[in-house]
Amino acid sequence: MNLAQSLLEVSLLLAASVVLGLLARRVHLPLTVVLAVVGFLASSLGGSLSLEGQLGGEGFEEVLVFLFLPVLVFEAVLGLSIRSFFRNLGPILALSVVAMGISTALVGVALRFGLDVPLAAALVFGALISATDPVAVVAVFRQLGVPQRLLTLVEGESLLNDGVAIVLFDILLAAAVGGEVSVVSGIGDFLGVFFGGAAIGAALGLAAASVLPWLDRLSAAALSVAVAYGGFALADHVLGFSGVMATVASGLVLGGLAPSRASAEVRETWDQLWEVLDHIANGVLFLLIGMVIDPRLVLDNLGPIAVAVVVVLVARALAVVPLVSALERFAGIPPVGLRNDAVLVWGGLRGGVALALALALPEDLAERETLVAMTAGVVLATLLLNATTIGALVRHLGLDRPDRPGQFLAAGARLSGAHAARRRLDELGLADPAVAARLESAEASARRELERVDLTPDEELQVVTRRGLAVERETYQRLSDAGLLPPASARTLLQEVDDLIEEASLGRPSMEPVGREAPRLARLVQRLVRRLPEPAGEDPAELDYAEATARRLAARRTAEALELFDRLPNLEASTVERARRVFERWEREAVASLDELDRSFGQHDELRRRQAEAVSRVASADQLHELSEIGLLPAATAAQAARAVGAEASGGRPAS
């Protein structure tokens, strides 16, 4: 292999993806669709690269599995709501395992009788084509703002069913080429590979999380890459488990523990690093997908491809809709709804994993050419048909529109933002008549929208609760980042407020702790997490004092944040006052806890000093960041000033 030539060609592909990204925005199509189509057209017109020869057969599978999949999977997991993922773990597992198996069987049987493909080979095709690739769909979902639960189901299913597809493909392929595979041993192998990979990933994630508090942002970035790629290769190549599941599990652990064990700089660096890597990987991958599809093979098999496209789409619907309905009826999961079912079915695109597995089929498999052609055709069809119309379907079903509390909060935020902008311009003497008129128009528009949203008493409480809890959670996170909260206390407080936020999102606003017992798996994870080393030590008195101080500060800040609602129309003052009294009571309870700790353990002068230092760092950083955001200070100057103030407040010592 000519490394220099390969690097040059990859650079050209990446540059082409940048140019095509501009085109995709102009024609309002998902970038991945444009990349795949352009790659296919280039291949059809005779364009070729030396890379294409290296990616033939199993070469494409190796490149996809070991180069692209760790990036794509790890980035998706880090960007996933961990609580939402585990809250919907039942339907996600059902979609990625049970629905995957049903779809595999349905596709296999249909092709056996529809195209006279031997059953073993037809089931192999069913396994490789049933794995969904949500890249294009998720980009549309995030742009449109679909409900969080739908986004979680689509992303969660695709994360797990890549691993399921690869394991199931290997088992069925062994049977198709004449190997001895029994149902019992096949199920045993599948469970061992699937959960073995998850266990390896979880262990690596916990090991990495144990050192996070001592790492700077660059070291933490390097560690995340090592975990993503190293865990994948260790599980897949060395131990024979699922590399995808190892990467999923390690990403879930790190993503879940990062808010309490990683600094704000580390989390921000992770977000930027993995977003860039994901963009690069998708840009190159979807061009390669188009280029490795043989146009002549597709044209020679249009009949089987048409049958395969119909069979795959129908099998997806037959696998998803009845299964989700059964889970709602018998397993007691929250209803998904027919509208979400429709999007789950239509959003089941096929992509790189399906094509890589097809190209890795052995040459001596008699049906290989037909299976590769059908896979390529289905991948192109779902990209051209499903990916380009999923946005219209979401809008038609009304899934892009927030509920009434969400509409009220969004309009209130616009009103508050326009008012704050106008006030700040006046304070700085920068008021301009034209700008002021536009801001006044924005305020008037937001106020009219607020007046149109007619909330019920329960929805009014939900609006106030969601706002208050969001401020409370942000306060805990900021205090944790500033070193005021040890990781153990931060996890306790964040979990408590996340429970309340979850209840509010389900339409059950509550201002008191939920008090429900965590699932058994969650309790096991919590016990493991408690064994991680704590940078601030594990003195119970210190943890209790830090937690009570944080509760006091959060309650004070949240009560002040509710002043926003005093200026909003169409909202009963009694509802706002009711919530404010609750937060004021929380502050009094926190003060009482601090007084009790002082009486029990004596004056905590050292703790108070450190907390005062942390609070001062937070306050100065917030103010300097605000000046940077409005352009009055360069970002680097603001960051340097924040560090200087923090060091002075700490007596010249580094921030803890």
Q: What is the pLDDT of residues 457-501, one digit of tens each?
A: 888 888 888 888 888 888 888 888 877 777 877 888 888 888 777
Q: Which domain holds residue 573?
A: 407-616
Q: What are phi and psi of 596, to 5 degrees?
A: -65, -40
Q: Which residues contact 360 (CB under 8 A, 6 or more apart)?
A: 57, 58, 60, 61
Has residue 476 been placed in a domain? yes
Residue among 408, 315, 415, 336 at smallest CA distance from 146: 336
Q: H helices of 79-182, where?
A: 82-87, 89-93, 99-114, 119-129, 135-144, 148-176
Residue 347 and residue 424 in one domain: no
Domain identity same for 383 and 439:
no
**Residue 285 lies inside a defined structural domain of this protein:** yes
Q: Per mean pLDDT, which of 314-318, 396-400, 641-645 is the most reliable?
A: 314-318
Q: Tell whether 501 and 622 lie within a shared domain.
A: no
pLDDT band at 654 (very low <50, low <70, confident <90, very high): very low
Which among 346, 377, 397 is the end of a domain?
A: 397
The reply to whether 151 and 115 lie within a common domain is: yes
Sign of dihedral through CA atoms 573, 577, 580, 582?
negative
Give the pLDDT score at 515. 45
Q: Is the pLDDT of residue 514 over 60?
A: no
Res 129: pLDDT: 92
d(CA 64, CA 289): 10
Residues 522 and 622 placed together within one structural domain of the fold = no
Give the count of domains, the chain: 3
Nearest alpha carbon to residue 319 among 137, 521, 512, 129: 129
Q: 229: which 2 tokens? A: 């790629």
Q: Looking at the whole model, is its pTM more than 0.85? A: no
* 264 shares its domain with 322: yes
Measured CA to CA, the distance from residue 392 to residue 398 in angstroms comes to 10
CB atoms within 10 A of CB 42: 16
Residue 629 forms part of a structural domain? yes
Instruction: Give the whole-angstrom CA distance, residue 10 versus residue 1.
Output: 14
Residues 337 and 467 in one domain: no
C-alpha 491/C-alpha 485 separation (Å) is: 9
Q: By the 8 A CB rule, do 635 and 641 touch?
A: no
Q: What is the pLDDT of residue 390?
A: 86
pLDDT for position 194: 87
Boundary residue ending a domain (397, 431, 457)? 397
**What does the pLDDT read at residue 499?**
77
What is the predicted pLDDT for the residue at 200? Answer: 95
- The answer as to whether 165 is a domain residue is yes
Q: Looking at residue 565, what is its pLDDT?
A: 78
Q: Do residue 360 and residue 431 come from a single domain?
A: no
Overall average pLDDT of the 220-238 stretch: 94
Which among 264, 240, 291 is positioned nearest to 63, based on CA atoms? Answer: 291
pLDDT band at 375 (very low <50, low <70, confident <90, very high): very high
pLDDT in tens, 280-300: 988 888 888 888 888 888 889
Structure tokens at 558: 């949240």
Q: Indicate which CATH number applies to the domain containing 246.
A: 1.20.1530.20
Q: Does 416 lie in the same domain as 353?
A: no
**Domain assignment of residue 503, yes or no:** yes
Q: Does residue 277 have a pLDDT over 90?
A: yes
**268 and 298 within one domain:** yes
**Residue 264: CB partners within 8 Å, gap ≥ 6?**
477, 481
Does residue 402 sit within a domain? no
Residues 54 and 170 in one domain: yes
- 385 & 412 share domain: no
Which of 358, 377, 397 marks a domain boundary? 397
